Amino acid sequence: MKTDFSPVIGLEIHVQLNTLSKLFCPCSTDYIGTVPNTNVCPVCLGLPGTLPVLNGKVVESAVRTALAIHCRINDATRFHRKNYFYPDLPKAYQISQYDLPVGEEGYIDINTEDGSSKRIGIIRLHLEEDAGKLVHAAADGRLAGATSSYVDYNRAGVPLAEIVSAPDLSSPAEAKEYVSRLRQLVRYLGVSDGDMEKGSMRVDANISVKCSDGRWGNRTEIKNMNSLRAMERGLAYEIERQSGILEKGGTIVQETRHWNDAQGITLSSRSKEEAHDYRYFPEPDLPPLFLPDGYVEKMASTLPEMPWIRESRFIRDYSLPEKDVAVITENPDLADLFEECVSGGASPERTSNWIRTEVLRVIHERKIPVSEFPLSSSVLAELIALIDSGKVSNTAAKEVFECILQTGVTIDEALVRCEVQAGGISGSRLENIIREILQNNVPVVQTIRAGEDKKGKKGKFLMGLVMRETRGQADPREVREMLSELLGQ
Amino acid sequence: MKIMSYHNMSAASVARKIRSGEFSVSDIVRACLECIGNMDGTLNALITREDQKALQRAAFLEKAIASGEDPGPLAGVPVIVKDNMCTRDIRTTCASRILADWRPPYNSTVVEALENAGAVILGKSNMDEFAMGSSTEHSAFGPCRNPWDTERVPGGSSGGSAAAVAAGYVPLALGSDTGGSIRQPASLCGIYGLKPTYGLISRYGLIAFASSLDQIGPFTRNVEDLALALNVLAKPDHRDSTCSRKARPDYLEALETGSLSGKKVGLVKEFRNYRLPPEISASVDRILKILQEAGAIIEEVSLPVTMTSGLGAYYIIAPAEASSNLARYDGVRYGLSAEADDLLSLYLKTRKAGFGSEVKRRILTGTYVLSSGYYDAYYLTAQKVRQIITREFAEAFSRVDTLIMPTSPSPAFRIGELVDDPIQMYMMDVFTLPVNLAGLPGLSLNGGYSAEGLPLGVQMVGPKWGELEILSMAHVIERELGPAPIAPGGVTDEN
């Protein structure tokens, strides 16, 4: 009898919180693209004699996030030191949380492939400081072959919320769904940009495989999965690997493995770092943190409409398909843009189409966040409303859209520049255009007039020329009627 | 004016006389530097002298005074700061090879406060490496000597600051006290030393030994100067989250109104369980008698857990914190950095060469007690004992206003006498370290002399934020016994 294998996956996700200053000092958290070791001070460099001072804004972000994932908030929390040596860790300990994290025992509901909803448990959300970054002097920037390494401490002390899930995920697809949900959530909360590629959201996975014959393999921890795609591939690979070993009756080595995206495999990382005893003990430089009465309630009152609630509202109120709503509500700014357009008079369905195609295309092409999309919602709404009312064709509107994007002119100016006339091209103007086309295509015209266009292909060809020439501003029915009249059919 | 007449002066009177124009800042700074130059070859109380900076600062202050500015309550007062408090661009070594050339880019809060009050920093004082020790022998810069007997230690770890004040270098020096490092050297050098309540003075810029126990405090030769120093140093500081935000009283003003009638003084009876030289008990009795005559009521108080288990708890908690605090000295960013081929050997070689034996011993102990499998048995148990000790003190202070016991079980011992016997050395803190565990204020004042003529300190402990209480009682005692004299090996008319 064949053995079945079911994966058991839990994720540890580090979310970089986007506060202006670091967790324990006033330095800027802006470390991407800044000159190395410029956003540093004696405190985040861990110079002798310095002391941490907790950033209250970080606590707000952490409590809001913990509330959004339905955690119980600990009114009294404290920080611990996690001791280990590494050159990117200035104090040789990381200030983290241990026994009293900000939040515990929460959950997130995700949509599974079969369309049902599944509840994924959250064990805890705790705060900790990020470390600096090592830059290795090897040609490819990697450790292997490097003769020296540099450390940039700009990232040291940047606040992180670590969110630990229960081992409730049973496939790479579910893991992807969970991470997407969490990413969406932190964006809705405005506490992080949740960008895995930039490292503002980092996912480590604990994974094991359960066999239908009752055996349960040891778990491994997978690191270095730097995108959703990488995570899916990494987990799938690891499931395959572990199942293969178990199938042959082998045992899984409990270890940390690194996902190698280029090779598409996980590799054991047998470094000395693994043998850590972190010697956690309460951080004596920070008194316990007691959240004042009413603090949690106050934070709860600042929570935005949760994405899952927004989704069901969009489906209900705008009669949009679930799949489309998922795209629009993925990003809170995109969902805001949608709602602003609709309240600005644009039809929900067309707005949904435009946002999913034109707007997202521009955002991907230009690699900009939604918040930096150059058209205001009112302009977009006006343009879509012009299509809605039949005054401008969809094709013409796209041209106007491009014109505004390229030149930044007003919508009225763009309409003029694109020679788009509200109401379209018809009557004698349309007739003149058709006549010109017929004159330029005499052989085609002759074929049709000779009755040899049996399948109507030549007629469609002429039709297409007219529509292109009028840039879609003509009513196809009028074009068709006028064409057959002028062809004498 | 003769040198002697400066060196006997209190900080308060120096500031008064400078403000009234009796002499200039440069006058006193020059005189102090001269005497340091004459004497420190013998005493080795200072690791770093900053003569030029001090003279520049004196000139700067004089100019300010000439233009009508008041430099502050420590106008022109020469001070010495223990070498574990960061001074911008002035070498701050912790008496360790690992920081032997380190120049901090920032000032500690207390150094800022001293300068804002008009003080002139003359140098950085010798100490036990990273403040770990009771004799100032564990210094990468050589042992400091006691001005009462230069064959003997000044106590530690703030031995350099204590010796400097006892010898008359300066009227005021700063020390830090984790388990007795201010009070014990004050006792062995016959001067006043105050360890304030944990959280009274900012620790920002104090290079940590054991963060939950460390507190900065002053050494002086009289009580008024202790109060003056507190007025300058005891302030809230947003850079230290463990520094209290509550308002501090005017310690100087409140001193004058101190009256002892109706005050209750508790004599901690357990100290008699230790084998002590008879003169130590006699000095405690002498102080009690003075307090009694001033109207205080004396009663015996028992601190059974404190006096038996304090030492054990302390030598778990302090090394545990130290092992973590000292992990940052890895040769990567600053300080000593050994030549090495790979990361691990960089760590190993740097730390092997950089730390002295006592520091290594405590790092090892601390690492051990925090290790998984041992944490509960050691660290957690020690924290429970610490809570019991805190409660025991609190109960005692519900009945009495202050507690009295000896500061140290021994007068100054000979250099080399205990240096190879860590347990005996640790015993030197047995009466002082419980006060750190409970976070309370403790003061050491001279209560008499041993048969060999060495000073013997008596310790007065107050309740939390009870500095005024113990200062006022110490003031009463000082009125009876006089201020602390300059040590026989200190400044005289001849040197």
| Stretch A456-469: mean pLDDT | 82
Residue type, A400: V
**A422 part of a folded domain:** no
**B323 part of a folded domain:** no
A279 and B370: CB-CB below 8 Å? Answer: yes
Computed over every residue of chain B, the mean pLDDT equals 94
Which chain A residues are closer than 8 Å to B328 by Cβ? 46, 48, 90-92
A90 contact B CB<8A = yes
Radius of gyration of chain A (CA): 30
ipTM summary value: 0.95
Radius of gyration of chain B (CA): 21
CA-to-CA distance for A94 and A129, rounded, in angstroms? 6
pLDDT in tens, B363-409: 999 999 999 889 999 999 999 999 999 999 999 999 999 999 999 99
Residue A205 backbone dihedrals phi, psi, to 5 degrees: -120, 140
Neighbouring residues of B443: CB distance < 8 A, sequence distance ≥ 6: B183, B192, B193, B194, B195, B226, B459, B460, B461, B462, B470, B471, B474
Q: Both A259 and A314 in a single domain?
A: no
Neighbouring residues of B257: CB distance < 8 A, sequence distance ≥ 6: none
Top residue of A51, A80, A147, A283 to mutate, by most chain B CBs within 10 Å, is: A51
Q: Both A100 and A128 in a single domain?
A: yes
Q: Which residue, B8, B358, B436, is CA-closest to B184?
A: B436
**Among A residues 301-340, those touching chain B with beta carbons less than 8 Å apart:** none
The pLDDT-based confidence of A192 (bands split at 50, 70, 90) is very high
Q: Both A83 and A205 in a single domain?
A: yes
On the question of pLDDT at A462 being above 70, the answer is: yes
CB contacts < 8 Å between A and B, how many? 98
Which of A91, A277, A279 is nearest residue B328 as measured by Cβ atoms? A91
**Residue whose tokens read 């805890």:** A124
CB hemisphere CA count around B212 (13 angstroms)? 20
Q: What is the 3-state secondary structure (H, E, C) of B130-185?
A: HHCCCCCCCCCCCCCCECCECCECCCCCCHHHHHHHHCCCCCEEEEEECCCCCHHH
Distance from CA of A287 to the nearest CA of B (A): 6
The pLDDT-based confidence of B6 (bands split at 50, 70, 90) is confident
Distance from CA of B5 to the nearest CA of A (A): 37
Token pair belonging to A435: 């006549």
**B92: nearest CA partner in chain A:** A48
**B321 part of a folded domain:** no
**B210 part of a folded domain:** yes
Query: What is the three-class DSSP state of A4?
Result: coil
| pLDDT at res. A139 | 59
Which pairs from B49-57 meet CB under 8 Å and 24+ separation?
B49/B122, B49/B123, B50/B90, B50/B121, B50/B122, B50/B123, B50/B124, B51/B122, B53/B90, B53/B121, B54/B29, B54/B78, B54/B120, B54/B121, B54/B122, B54/B123, B55/B26, B55/B29, B55/B30, B57/B29, B57/B120, B57/B121
Percent of chain B with pLDDT over 90: 90
CA-to-CA distance for B484 and A446, rounded, in angstroms? 125
Q: Both A410 and A434 in a single domain?
A: no
**B329 part of a folded domain:** no
CA-to-CA distance for A17 and A68, rounded, in angstroms? 15
B120-125/B78-82 β-pairing = parallel
Final residue before a domain boundary, out of A417, A440, A464: A417
Q: Both A169 and A221 in a single domain?
A: yes
CA-to-CA distance for B91 and B375, rounded, in angstroms? 37
Look at chain A and report how many structural domains it folds into. 3
CA-to-CA distance for A119 and A348, rounded, in angstroms? 31
> What is the distance of C-alpha A259 from the center of its chain?
21
CB hemisphere CA count around B238 (13 angstroms)? 6
pTM: 0.88
**A159 part of a folded domain:** yes
Neighbouring residues of A451: CB distance < 8 A, sequence distance ≥ 6: none
On the question of pLDDT at A273 being above 60, the answer is: no
A461 contact B CB<8A = no
Q: Is the sign of the CA dihedral B315, B320, B323, B325 positive or negative?
A: negative
| Stretch B26-40: mean pLDDT | 94
CA angle A74–A76–A81, rounded 5-degree value: 100
Look at chain B and report how many structural domains it folds into. 1
Give the orientation angle of helix A322-329 with respect to helix A307-318, to 10 degrees.
130
**B190 part of a folded domain:** yes
Give the orientation angle of helix A172-189 with respect to helix A307-318, to 10 degrees.
90
CA-to-CA distance for A76 and A74, rounded, in angstroms? 5
Count the residues in chain A.
489
Which of A51, A53, A281 is nearest residue B370 as measured by Cβ atoms? A281
**B188 part of a folded domain:** yes
On the question of pLDDT at B1 being above 50, the answer is: no
CA-to-CA distance for B233 and B243, rounded, in angstroms? 12
On the question of pLDDT at B11 being above 80, the answer is: yes
CA-to-CA distance for B297 and B262, rounded, in angstroms? 7
CA-to-CA distance for B289 and B292, rounded, in angstroms? 5
Q: Both A379 and A468 in a single domain?
A: no
| pLDDT at res. A436 | 84
Residue type, B271: F
Least confident among A116-125, A202-211, A338-347: A338-347
Final residue before a domain boundary, out of A296, A325, A348: A296
Residue type, B27: D
For residues B157 and B181, is the Cβ–Cβ distance under 8 A?
yes
Those residues of chain B whose CB sits closer than 8 Å to some CB in chain A are 84-86, 92, 94, 99, 102, 104-106, 108, 203-208, 210-212, 238-242, 320-321, 323-324, 327-328, 330, 332-334, 343-344, 347, 367, 370-372, 375, 379
**B138 part of a folded domain:** yes
pLDDT in tens, A237-248: 999 999 888 888
CA-to-CA distance for A374 and A379, rounded, in angstroms? 10
Which chain B residues are closer than 8 Å to A151 by Cβ? 332-333
CA distances from B312 to B315, B382, B427 (A): 5, 8, 10
**Domain with A98 in it:** 5-296
B321 and A87: CB-CB below 8 Å? Answer: no
The pLDDT-based confidence of A342 (bands split at 50, 70, 90) is confident
**Among A residues 243-272, those touching chain B with beta carbons less than 8 Å apart:** 272
On the question of pLDDT at B434 being above 90, the answer is: yes
Q: Both A434 and A326 in a single domain?
A: no
| pLDDT at res. A271 | 57
Which chain A residues are closer than 8 Å to B333 by Cβ? 45-46, 90, 151
Indicate which CATH number applies to the domain containing B54. Answer: 3.90.1300.10
The pLDDT-based confidence of B494 (bands split at 50, 70, 90) is low
CA distances from B485 to B44, B101, B282, B385 (A): 20, 35, 20, 39
A92 contact B CB<8A = yes
Q: Is the sign of the CA dihedral A331, A335, A340, A345 positive or negative?
A: positive
Q: How far apart are the first and last CA of chain A?
A: 73
The pLDDT-based confidence of A275 (bands split at 50, 70, 90) is low
On the question of pLDDT at A141 being above 60, the answer is: no
Final residue before a domain boundary, out of A266, A296, A326: A296
Computed over every residue of chain A, the mean pLDDT equals 87
CA angle B47–B52–B53, rounded 5-degree value: 80
Which of B328, B343, B371 is nearest residue A92 as measured by Cβ atoms? B328
**A301 part of a folded domain:** no
**B238: nearest CA partner in chain A:** A53
**Domain with B95 in it:** 3-302+392-481
Neighbouring residues of B305: CB distance < 8 A, sequence distance ≥ 6: B385, B388, B389, B392
Which of A51, A53, A93 is nearest residue B324 as measured by Cβ atoms? A93
Q: Is the sign of the CA dihedral A432, A434, A440, A446 positive or negative?
A: negative
Q: Both A332 and A459 in a single domain?
A: no
**Among A residues 406-445, those touching chain B with beta carbons less than 8 Å apart:** none
| Stretch A405-422: mean pLDDT | 74
The pLDDT-based confidence of A351 (bands split at 50, 70, 90) is confident
Give the orientation angle of helix A307-318 with respect to helix A332-343, to 10 degrees.
30
Between A63 and A150, the more confident residue is A63
**B367: nearest CA partner in chain A:** A279
pLDDT in tens, A29-64: 998 888 999 999 999 999 999 999 999 999 999 999
| Stretch A456-460: mean pLDDT | 82
**B385 part of a folded domain:** no
CA distances from B252 to A362, B227, B246 (A): 71, 5, 18
For residues B200 and B310, is the Cβ–Cβ distance under 8 A?
no
| pLDDT at res. B214 | 98
Indicate which CATH number applies to the domain containing A451. Answer: 1.10.10.410
On the question of pLDDT at B175 being above 50, the answer is: yes
Percent of chain B with pLDDT over 70: 98
B264-268/B402-406 β-pairing = parallel
B327 and A83: CB-CB below 8 Å? Answer: yes
**Catalytically active residues of B, by annotation:** 82, 157, 181
For residues B406 and B283, is the Cβ–Cβ distance under 8 A?
yes
| Stretch B67-78: mean pLDDT | 95
Beta-bridged to residue A216, according to DSSP, are A210
**A302 part of a folded domain:** no
pLDDT in tens, B109-124: 999 999 999 999 999 9
For residues B184 and B408, is the Cβ–Cβ distance under 8 A?
yes
| Stretch B164-172: mean pLDDT | 97
Between A290 and A463, the more confident residue is A290
Q: Both A343 and A386 in a single domain?
A: yes
On the question of pLDDT at B189 being above 50, the answer is: yes
Beta-bridged to residue A466, according to DSSP, are none
